[in-house]
Structure 1
Amino acid sequence: MSATRPRVQKAAKSARGPEPVDASSEPVDPLRDPALYLNRELSQLDFNFRVLAQAQDESVPLLERLKYLCIACTNLDEFFEIRAATMHHAQDFGVPLPPDGLTPATVLKRIHERTAQLVEAQYSCWNQVLRPAMSEAGVRVLGREQWTARQTRWLRAYFRDEVMPVLSPLGLDPAHPFPKILNKSLNIVVVLKGKDAFGRVGNLAIVRAPRSLPRIIQLPESISGGEYDFVFLSSVLSEFVHELFPGMDVKGAYQFRVTRNSELIVDDEEVENLALALRDELAGRGYLRAMRLEISAKCPKPIVRTLLQNFDLPENAVYRIDGPVNLNRISQIFDLVQRPDLKFPTFQQRLPKGTDAMFELIADGDILLHHPFDSFVPVLELIKQAAEDPNVLAIKQTLYRTGKDSGIVEHLIQAARNGKDVTVVVELRARFDEEANLGLADRLQEAGVQVVYGVVGYKTHAKMLLVVRREGRKLRRYVHLGTGNYHAGTARVYTDFGLLTTDPDIGNDVHLLFQQMSGLAPAIGLKRLLQSPFTLHAGVIARIERETAHAKAGRPGRIVAKMNALNEPQVMRALYVASQAGVQIDLIIRGACALRPGVPGVSDNIRVRSIVGRFLEHHRVYWFANDGEPDLFCASADWLERNLLRRVETGFPILDPEIAVRVRSESLDNYLADNLNAWELREDGTYVKIVPDGDTMPHSAQGWLLAHLCG
């Protein structure tokens, strides 16, 4: 496919450039100059502007635009829970500065400035664009000023019957200090005047909305007249909150929400039982340090100051909201509204023939699964058939995220009950899935599965499945390796590759990796796979340096890689050196990128683009031209410090020539030709939306895959 560079259209300003560098102190290595790098946190934050652009794109179905808005909001929540929290930790305890040289204090200041712009853009999109468009399409979210008398009566009855019985308002006085506020919970601060039955003078009260209450209420059609009319719970609480304080005068009611640090820190080497330690940490996660306060734009300043004081937050941690403080709750409307005309067209995932006999199918040759265009069923079937097959002796698998009611877990439990030797490496520290994975580990152990919690100090992020089967007098290993999780749900919305193979060398490598993770084995030599934290980092750099050597010798040098994020300093410096030697480098990076492309004399041969479309771009693919004998790897790892140096990851080669052509064509060339969903990163750190010019045919990478793989 052609990768013609179309003209570009300027987009919203990205993260600011680096702080000025003291010219009087030249760095020893010019490639360590902070001016050559972007800040990872600010780059990650900027990704949400690209997501929000999808919500503003009129070519996207209306309810899908609503979903993009909600994704931008949930991403921002997680950013404050993890990335901003990490910056606060760095500020408090001190850590080495990243390549861009920005101090934590500077990064936090810029996070606030950029977040303020993002929040304003989010609510502008909701209030001025999506809400009116939805109303016109017959999906109405009604504000209090829009309620008819009949609707108001119904909502008052709803409040009294369904909401009021589960509320516990708390008046603030010396006997009732400010309560603990759960992370991301909906709350109303109420301003009161008068005295209660005990003669106590009212001032402030807090009303917490229990998590059991729906945040979106659908009005009956008989009451509202519209099939899809909705009201926010926060609107109902604000309208009828006075009924909780009879005899007192409610002067104001303002919704607010606090976002807290959610990064669990467990020192693996200091605890005797990781599972118990993690359970203890989880119990307090919802009440860790406050990071951000969202509050109604109409709330008086003295009330805001009181809340900031109670949450121990500075003035720049507050974000005034013109609308519901938790916009992502609107996502519930997507499932409640049965309007196919307002959503993406459905598609039928491909399913290879012969999945009722997976062992024969894989033995005939390697199989590539390209999700979500290919079904996840073959992976589920392999595990299911392995659990029932009397010739299968052992099943070994890593589990990072599996989703609720996972069929994989049921098959593994059945395999253990059928007498198979089943070993599962469960990563307890999969962020926000810790509690689910603790429960998963308990279930597996109760069924007789040998559960391993990974390696001390390293998250197990590799995606591996190994089935050992007796076939005649020999044992054969069946392997699945993936770039994504063993999660049937995300396999419908994330782009990922999965490889099913019986290659003996790959099978032996995977066997050795499981031995290493479940035992106390020393570093091992692998024949085919690259492994973090031992050989993947060095292997990537060695291949970049090989392209550099080819270019210096006058041979073409070429690198194309696709991933979610990039910030590893040695890899970035190696890419700069390769660019200086003339290697042509294209990086397809969905989210954060700390490399600065297009710097004259340094990175002018490097191009970086981000694809944001219907599906979440998730596969990791590395391609090195190698003077006509290309190396192609799929991997579980991004080129981040944590993935390459502090996690257990795998990079697996695509050995079948036809499959290798498919991988390059579908995930690299195809994406380089995209001029409808692609954003280009410029030297100054801004992203610009690529648009087709008059000489270039419009091309959507994901649209092409849907048409050619699912059509």
Structure 2
Amino acid sequence: MSEQPVSEIEKKELNVAQLNGADAEELVLEPIPEQPQDAKKIAIEERLPEEIDLADPELYFNRELSHLQFNARVLEQAMDENHPILNRLLFLCIFSSNMDEFFEIRVAGLKSQLEYSREKNGPDGMHPKKVLSLISEQAHKLVRRQYKILNDIIFPKLFDEGVKFIRRSEWSEKQSAWVKRYFRDNVLPVISPVGLDPTHPFPRLANKTFNFVVDLEGRDAFGRENGLAIVPAPSSLPRLVKLPDEVCEGGDNLVFLSSIIHAHADQLFPGMTVKGCFQFRLTRNADLEVDSDDIGVDLAGALRTELQSRHYGSSVRLEIAENCPTHIIDSLLKQFDLEQQDLYRTNGPVNLSRLMAVLELIDRSDLMYSPFSPGLPRKLASSGTIFEAIRQKDYLLMHPFESFSPVVDFLSEAAKDPKVVAIRQTLYRTGSRSPIANALVEAARNGKEVTVVIELRARFDEAENLALASRLQDAGAIVVYGVVRHKTHAKMIIIVRREDTELTRYVHLGTGNYHAGNARLYTDYSFLTADKEIGDDVHRVFQQLTGMSKELKVKKLLHAPFTLRDRLLDMIAKEAENARNGDPARIIIKVNSLTEQRLVQALYKASQAGVKIDLIIRGICTLRPGIKGVSSNIRVRSIIGRFLEHTRVYYFYNNRNPKVYLSSADGMDRNLNNRIEVAFPIQDYKLARRVKRELEYYLTDNTQSWLLQSDGSYQLSKPRKNEYRSAQRFLLGELANTNR
């Protein structure tokens, strides 16, 4: 199917350095300065291929710096005029949220290595101290760029559309009076300033909380004079407030909580003179340290205890208003045991992810992407039951272009169907009150044998998963927490149904989480089948997860940490052998990240053998493409667009008999060696051909595709006039808004 018509605004050149008349030198996306790449590239290419050690650190990008590059590409979406203006604002918010997690986990981990003298170099050979220095250098550039985009582009464009973020210096008399009343009625009763002196120590500030440091002058009622005070902003207060229409001249008028508190800081310290009031935010280490070897049998109890301390880990970053005096900043850095490279001055709100609240405060759907109706295969929609449809053929759905409702219906029908005797499912992220959770609860209450493997350690979803586990147990379901030292990341459902005198297994396998909300935002595959051998395989995997047994052989699935990595290496090696024999050879891999060193080395060897390799890697990629004699046959691209790319696909040409696997696993050490994962084959010829066609859409994308260069930089594809191709737009046009 041809692509849908492209609007005029979408036909603009995507040279982000020139959008909106911005200063090109200031807004150019720079490569991360990992190492003197050009010199090393020449040194490697001067060697003969047989002289090159594929473990040479020069052949690998640093994992953390590559991660930071992904965040940089997300930030660039705020500059892309193909996106509606509110969506561009959301990309700024997403970048801010991504950077929070990057500091909470990745930077915190590097700092911990140094603190406890556990430094560990990755395949790139770079010392953690050097990595932290380069992270600081690049992150500071990205943060400055983020606020420049916000202040110079996003805010002015929103103002032109009637969405106004009004600074306190711009308040009219009516607006000032309304804000004063708001402060008196809503802020003052719940805010608790803390003056700092020997009897009032510095308050213990939780991770990412919003605070102010206030510089005071004068004597208080007890004779204390001159000093600093800390004002934590209560979490109950909205960070963004909409002014009522009666005090405005039209449009949507918004003010920041920071402006409200700043304007009335003197009322928090009666009789004192406020010399300055400056917002700041502290980021702490938020990685949980639950040691599976030391927790006995109570993982849930250990996790509940650890969650209480997550908010008070070691300090890793200080964000503060850029006009804060140096002596106050130095005092805070000392208080939090941070260095200058950990300091980030902000020209605006210290937490831009709070700007997402604008979508709840205003009704401006005209400034966002138009909604669409996900497609649904006609036979799934028209069959009497979903089981009848699946019994006749396999179904492959690609979300969000195709509806997630068949997955929910799969469980909902099973919960009510008297013929269904058992349901087993893995859950990584879903929500304790989601449609999936509700269906499992209903099934358990209806007397089905419901067994759920919940991964309690799914990062930042631990509390939600604990609540879900309790709810399912209360309903009568059997809940287990997976395997010690291995996170359960596989996405599987198996439903056992009594049909005549036999038990039939129906299976769902996916590349993404069982989360209906994410299914509208992430691209993922869902596979529904009644294939007996796949059903047997999934049954065996559940046996390993819920019981205790030696490795059980599976016939069709690839199963980490047992067979998945080695089978992938075998299939890569087979393509290399075919190429050496003069046969056509091709590999296409689409994953979120690629870091597993043996996998990278296998791809290098295949490239040396002449295999044409295309890698679609959304985020982290440690493989260096385009090196003569090593990776000249490898192309790496990253697609960043309206939807978060999340499908994992492994395609091998296999001498004209293609093998196509979809998986929950990325090409990372943790996925292939330390998690429970599955990859499942697409055996139906038409479905396999469809997956290949959809991969080609991504390989020909020239509007949202970033090409990784051998020096570590990413270049945005620039379409020629009237040759605009967007994979996500193709898929919307081909799969959505239709009953096929």
TM-score by length of 2: 0.93
Secondary structure of residue in 1 paired with 2:460: coil
Query: Map of 1:104-119 to 2, 5 A cutoff?
Result: 104-119=128-143
CA contact (8 A) 1:62 1:343 kept: yes
**Is 1:657 aligned to residue 657 of structure 2?**
no
Aligned position for 2:572: 544
Mapped partners of 1:96, 1:177: distance in 2 = 37
CA contact (8 A) 2:120 2:128 kept: no
Query: Deviation at 1:29?
Result: 6.5
Aligned position for 1:175: 199
Query: Deviation at 1:404?
Result: 5.3
Aligned position for 2:73: 50
**Is 1:619 aligned to residue 647 of structure 2?**
yes
Query: Deviation at 1:15?
Result: 1.8
CA contact (8 A) 1:196 1:202 kept: no
**176, 181, 184: which one pairs with 2:208?**
184
TM-score by length of 1: 0.97
How many residue pairs get matched?
704
Aligned position for 1:673: 700
Aligned position for 2:370: 345
Q: Which amino acid aligns with 1:256?
A: F
Query: Deviation at 1:440?
Result: 0.7
Secondary structure of residue in 1 paired with 2:385: helix
Aligned position for 1:709: 735
Mapped partners of 1:49, 1:113: distance in 2 = 13
CA contact (8 A) 1:675 1:691 kept: yes
Aligned position for 1:12: 29
Aligned position for 2:238: 214
**Is 1:357 aligned to residue 385 of structure 2?**
yes
Mapped partners of 1:89, 1:520: distance in 2 = 35
Quickly say closer, same or farther: Cα 1:539–1:95, change in 2 above 3 A: farther
**315, 321, 326: which one pairs with 1:301?**
326
Mapped partners of 2:287, 2:384: distance in 1 = 43
Quickly say closer, same or farther: Cα 1:95–1:519, change in 2 above 3 A: farther
Q: Which amino acid aligns with 1:708?
A: E
Aligned position for 1:436: 464
Query: Deviation at 1:408?
Result: 1.1
Aligned position for 2:22: none
Query: Deviation at 1:289?
Result: 0.7
Aligned position for 1:60: 83
CA contact (8 A) 1:413 1:444 kept: yes
Secondary structure of residue in 2 paired with 1:116: helix
Query: Deviation at 1:244?
Result: 0.7
CA contact (8 A) 1:18 1:100 kept: no
Query: Deviation at 1:202?
Result: 3.7
Mapped partners of 2:261, 2:616: distance in 1 = 46
Query: Map of 1:63-142 to 2, 5 A cutoff?
Result: 63-93=86-116, 94-142=118-166
Mapped partners of 2:40, 2:311: distance in 1 = 40
Q: Which amino acid aligns with 2:719?
A: P
Aligned position for 2:338: 313
Query: Deviation at 1:354?
Result: 3.0
Mapped partners of 1:96, 1:244: distance in 2 = 48
Once the two structures are superposed, residues 495-530 of structure 1 have per-residue CA deviations (whole angstroms, 9 ceiling, x without a partner) of: 000000000010000000000000111112110000
Query: Deviation at 1:89?
Result: 2.1
Mapped partners of 1:558, 1:89: distance in 2 = 42
Q: Which amino acid aligns with 1:682?
A: Q
Gapped regions of structure 2 (runs ≥ 5) = 3-12, 18-27
**Is 1:197 aligned to residue 221 of structure 2?**
yes
**418, 425, 444: which one pairs with 2:453?**
425
CA contact (8 A) 1:18 1:38 kept: no
Query: Deviation at 1:334?
Result: 2.5
Query: Deviation at 1:8?
Result: 10
Secondary structure of residue in 2 paired with 1:203: strand
**Is 1:245 aligned to residue 245 of structure 2?**
no
Mapped partners of 2:384, 2:599: distance in 1 = 44
Mapped partners of 2:119, 2:498: distance in 1 = 52
CA contact (8 A) 1:155 1:236 kept: yes
Aligned position for 2:612: 584
Which 10-residue stretch deviates more, 295-304 or 47-56? 47-56
Gapped regions of structure 1 (runs ≥ 5) = none
Mapped partners of 1:192, 1:405: distance in 2 = 48
Which 10-residue stretch deviates more, 574-583 or 409-418? 409-418
Query: Deviation at 1:28?
Result: 9.0
Aligned position for 2:9: none
Secondary structure of residue in 2 paired with 1:628: coil
Identity %: 51
Query: Deviation at 1:57?
Result: 1.4
Query: Map of 1:520-599 to 2, 5 A cutoff?
Result: 520-599=548-627
Aligned position for 1:700: 726
Mapped partners of 2:640, 2:547: distance in 1 = 41
Which 10-residue stretch deviates more, 28-37 or 448-457? 28-37
Aligned position for 2:5: none
**Is 1:391 aligned to residue 435 of structure 2?**
no
Which 10-residue stretch deviates more, 490-499 or 199-208? 199-208
Query: Deviation at 1:83?
Result: 1.0
CA contact (8 A) 1:406 1:487 kept: yes
